[in-house]
Structure 1
């Protein structure tokens, strides 16, 4: 064999390269086994340790007998992972309880054992999971809701759901109900007695209806939280003015709306709810500010150039190319894109279809290939065949990517979403009637009508075609 240049473990290597070698083992160019590659031939091909030192005895796992990169106890990564998962999830360190066995199978059966070993060693979520495993009664949504809602808690919850130990639930609806419960518990009694029924019987009840239709998005959760927060701020303002709801007058509302323009629209639901229950005098109104027309657009050549980047630039991350292309071709908001799953994609021998709302439409061949590649390469670290498989999976198992973080990522790569979506919506309504756009993209007909008015179109032509 030609002379081999060895980088590790008998040569210098930086910490970044060492971590990369552990997390992304690739097939050896000589034996084709997925191993940690430590050597390089003069031709540039990468070799594992066994092929780099062919004269030395082959290292074999003491448990399964297969040649491998050995860990402590002379065990291969797969056998080491199985032992560490058992130690994490068992009370006695010898066996995993039957209710947790599906989770043990998910962790021990991961496609890349190196990444899971690294996760077990360093992640706060793994430490939390080990603590919960010692108390089987804590493995339910209610117990997890009482913990600090950090990233580790969300990750463990998603892991338990994907393993089938916990039943699935609408994550966005759960975020709302948990936030309301924590917020109301911190209010003084006189405010809690008003905010609790408003939140539970008006905000959360409507959120449950939308969740049952599969239309309760992360943006909807943030908006509902904003409505409750505005109601709390309004009650605090009344206290500062030595007022109460029963003594409220229109002059007071006008002052509130002027002093807090950012909360003006958010406080309308609470005022209407209070009026309907005769908690304040009738006839009081907060004028909703006129809908602002979009002000950010792109020039035609800029929009075309960015779309070509999404379809052709292989230097961009695959998820960025897919998300940015969907924004620029179909004017989809990021909150809708992150909710797309493999169930929204279908195809036949000739075409691939995307069904955003009810009716599928044909995808361009290049975008169809990008989406297919994204689905094949977006497998989360811990996953099962059960549950929804998102086109853009998030950090927590069973959850989609955060649209706010996705927007920042697109901006970082020079592909901002807002101006591109406004431009795409204008182009779409120039070619199709607004009713068709509303039906295909799942936007409200009034929203489509407002956009059509901006473009200069109206409904009359489309209605005349139907009659």
Structure 2
């Protein structure tokens, strides 16, 4: 960097990625040496270039590139500057989408023949971050890459078999003990009305 006559964002980008490089960039922007830059969008663009390389299927690489370009990068360009929350959600969404597409490849399923049973198995066998796949699924349905009947199942409290076993004791926290006991008259009308 010291060998060049001018300092630019492109020159900094040519250096190895590190926290130090980004710290120096921030200092140069703060002191007016470099023009302001939408850092979250720049970081997302840099990460987005790496995601297709993690996919093993060439067709899925093309799908993820389209998803990134037309869903996430387009939205980030509309926001000036892109907020941190948008950056973090978009980063997580493309990570989960790539994981989803790799799972499809591993199970010899393509996006066009993806069924709800496949989607349910994938969702049930992984972490809760797989709920972020709904963003990719909505986009895939809208672009006619996947069936319109597909949906990510949301988890609702109290429906898990493990949580609702008859052998589990009732809650003992003070807020539960203060609730009135509900008897057999719930849902019946009073004769005075």
Structure 2 length normalisation: TM-score? 0.72
Name the counterpart of 2:61. Answer: 192
Offset at residue 186 of structure 1 (A) = 4.8
Name the counterpart of 1:280. Answer: 146
Report 1:153-164 matches (<5 A): 153-164=21-32
Offset at residue 258 of structure 1 (A) = 0.8
Structure 1 unaligned residues grouped into runs of 5+: 1-131, 292-467
8 Å Cα contact 2:53/2:61 also seen in 1: yes
For residue 266 of structure 1, give the secondary structure of its aligned residue in structure 2. Answer: helix
Name the counterpart of 1:438. Answer: none
In structure 2, how many angstroms separate the alpha carbons of the residues matched to 1:145 and 1:167?
14
Structure 2 unaligned residues grouped into runs of 5+: 158-193
8 Å Cα contact 1:257/1:263 also seen in 2: no
Offset at residue 280 of structure 1 (A) = 1.5
Aligned positions, number: 157
In structure 2, how many angstroms separate the alpha carbons of the residues matched to 1:187 and 1:255?
20
8 Å Cα contact 2:112/2:146 also seen in 1: yes
In structure 1, how many angstroms separate the alpha carbons of the residues matched to 2:148 and 2:97?
18
Offset at residue 253 of structure 1 (A) = 0.8
Pair 198,157 (structure 1): closer, same or farther in 2 beyond 3 Å: same
For the pair 1:171 / 2:39, whether they are aligned, the reply is yes
8 Å Cα contact 2:114/2:147 also seen in 1: yes
Pair 187,164 (structure 1): closer, same or farther in 2 beyond 3 Å: farther
Name the counterpart of 1:379. Answer: none
8 Å Cα contact 1:264/1:288 also seen in 2: no
In structure 2, how many angstroms separate the alpha carbons of the residues matched to 1:253 and 1:168?
43
In structure 2, how many angstroms separate the alpha carbons of the residues matched to 1:185 and 1:143?
24
For the pair 1:241 / 2:107, whether they are aligned, the reply is yes
For residue 151 of structure 2, give the secondary structure of its aligned residue in structure 1. Answer: coil
Q: Which has the higher contact order (CA 8 A, sep 6+)?
A: 2
Alignment partner for residue 51 of structure 2, among 180, 183, 189?
A: 183
In structure 1, how many angstroms separate the alpha carbons of the residues matched to 2:55 and 2:150?
26
8 Å Cα contact 2:40/2:82 also seen in 1: no
Pair 181,147 (structure 1): closer, same or farther in 2 beyond 3 Å: farther
Name the counterpart of 2:132. Answer: 266
For the pair 1:150 / 2:18, whether they are aligned, the reply is yes
Name the counterpart of 1:216. Answer: 83
Name the counterpart of 1:134. Answer: 3
Alignment partner for residue 227 of structure 1, among 87, 93, 108?
A: 93
Offset at residue 171 of structure 1 (A) = 1.6
Pair 185,252 (structure 1): closer, same or farther in 2 beyond 3 Å: closer
In structure 2, how many angstroms separate the alpha carbons of the residues matched to 1:208 and 1:288?
30
Larger radius of gyration: 1
8 Å Cα contact 1:145/1:178 also seen in 2: no
Offset at residue 257 of structure 1 (A) = 1.3
Offset at residue 142 of structure 1 (A) = 2.6
8 Å Cα contact 2:72/2:90 also seen in 1: yes
Offset at residue 134 of structure 1 (A) = 0.8
Structure 1 length normalisation: TM-score? 0.31
In structure 2, how many angstroms separate the alpha carbons of the residues matched to 1:167 and 1:133?
19
8 Å Cα contact 2:76/2:82 also seen in 1: no
For residue 147 of structure 1, give the secondary structure of its aligned residue in structure 2. Answer: coil
